[in-house]
Homo-oligomer: A and B are copies of this chain.
Amino acid sequence: MKVAVAGASGYVGGEVLRLALAHPEVEIGAVTAGESAGSALGAHQPHLPTLADRTIAETTPEQLAGHDVVFLALPHGRSAELAAQLPADTLVVDCGADHRLTDPKAWARWYGGEHAGSWPYGLPELPGAREQLRNSTRIAVPGCYPTASTLASFPAVAAGLVQPEVSIVAFSGTSGAGKAAKPHLLGSEVMGSATAYGVGGGHRHTPEIVQNLATVSPEPVRVSFTPVLAPMPRGILAVASAPLADDGVTEDQAREVYAKAFAAEPFVHLLPAGVQPATKSVVGSNTAQIQVAIDPDAGRLVVTAVIDNLTKGTAGGAFQSVNLALGLDETLGLPTTGVSP
């Protein structure tokens, strides 16, 4: 399959290209961007030496034409506009937010402007998602926080293990904020420091998490989501907790629910009892690592999940969905091994 990448100079675009290079069925076609058009890819993605001499083209429908798969790694708003100009039989993969939310009112509240409609949601592990992704020609790649948060909490919600009042605090590497130079993202600011943001339900990934959990919950779901900017370039650790539906639930029972939910999942690794996941273990990998605990005094389930925000959280999850959409082996070309230490 011939693949084009729009937004090739950013972090998501770079990760799509890194995975594309390792995918046996991919030929890399156009690499495009906005302001960076005309420069060499090597100036933006120095970790991809075999593509260093490629010239970045401008992001236009013409440049993206003639490919089997087009990845859009663009700011929200831009991808919907562009996707509308691409052929219906091209597989278009939106790594941005434009096609994630199904509810136009939620879109209007959180993003504003016109709702572009929703596409099949690229989190194959979520019940029902895999079926929609097969043979689809449009894929909405989930947000990185929703990927970690949903994997951490949907099995418990689906099984009725907890009351659907989920509190999530998630610690993210800075690459999730992108490559645009902003003072609060400077190395001098972030190294050695942790800061929450979007506190009080202000982060746009909140409605996406609610939407995901609602697909498996018989009752209305409430989610408190607090993201934290962490002094590391990659990785998300989500700590999700919720009141137990029944105080008598044991850790073994809770683990069993998760073990069952992920038994057939190639990219979810439930850790042995007592072992906590570290974000470093999944750097560069499409694997999520998960642990389940019960706090009997507080009467809560506490689940921890780690992913690489750029791999399983974006570009890797995207390729996983692409494999499904094209009828390939879902795991084709995707790393399960992290680069550690």
Residue numbers of A with Cβ under 8 A of B are 11, 14, 18, 21-22, 40, 42-43, 45-50, 52, 165, 167, 169, 171, 173-175, 177, 179, 181-183, 185-197, 199-201, 206, 222-226, 228, 230-235, 237, 239, 241, 243, 251, 269, 271-272, 275-285, 287, 289, 291, 293-300, 302, 304, 306, 335-341
Q: Is A191 touching B188 in the complex (CB atoms < 8 A)?
A: no
What is the interface of chain A mostly: helix, strand, loop, or mixed?
mixed
Contact of A193 among B177, B200, B235 (CB under 8 A): B235
CB distance from A49 to the nearest CB of B (A): 4
Query: Which of A43, A48, A171, A277: most chain B CB closer than 10 A?
Result: A171
Enumerate chain B residues within 8 angstroms of A341, measured Cβ to Cβ.
Answer: 11, 14, 175, 186, 188-189, 191, 233-234
Enumerate chain B residues within 8 angstroms of A183, measured Cβ to Cβ.
Answer: 179, 181
- Tell me the bound Cα distance from A263 to B179 in angstroms: 33
A192-B233, A195-B237, A237-B195 given as contacts; is B200 within 8 A of A187 (CB)? no
A188-B233, A226-B302, A228-B171 given as contacts; is B201 within 8 A of A47 (CB)? no
Contact of A47 among B49, B171, B285 (CB under 8 A): B285
Q: Which residue of B lies closest to A50 (CB)?
A: B336
Contact of A181 among B182, B206, B335 (CB under 8 A): B182
**Can you list 19 residue pairs at the A/B interface with Cβ under 8 Å?**
A18-B339, A22-B335, A40-B272, A46-B340, A47-B340, A50-B336, A50-B337, A173-B192, A187-B187, A187-B191, A188-B233, A191-B191, A191-B233, A194-B235, A195-B278, A195-B279, A200-B294, A222-B297, A234-B341
Q: Is A281 touching B46 in the complex (CB atoms < 8 A)?
A: yes
Count of identical protomers in the assembly: 4
CB distance from A134 to the nearest CB of B (A): 25
Contact of A187 among B186, B226, B251, B272 (CB under 8 A): B186
Contact of A195 among B192, B234, B276, B339 (CB under 8 A): B276
Q: Which residue of B lies closest to A297 (CB)?
A: B201
CB distance from A306 to the nearest CB of B (A): 8
Q: Is B222 touching A194 in the complex (CB atoms < 8 A)?
A: no
Contact of A230 among B48, B171, B233, B234 (CB under 8 A): B171
CB distance from A4 to the nearest CB of B (A): 19
Enumerate chain B residues within 8 angstroms of A196, measured Cβ to Cβ.
Answer: 237, 239, 276, 304
Q: Which residue of B lies closest to A199 (CB)?
A: B293
Contact of A194 among B50, B167, B271, B278 (CB under 8 A): B278
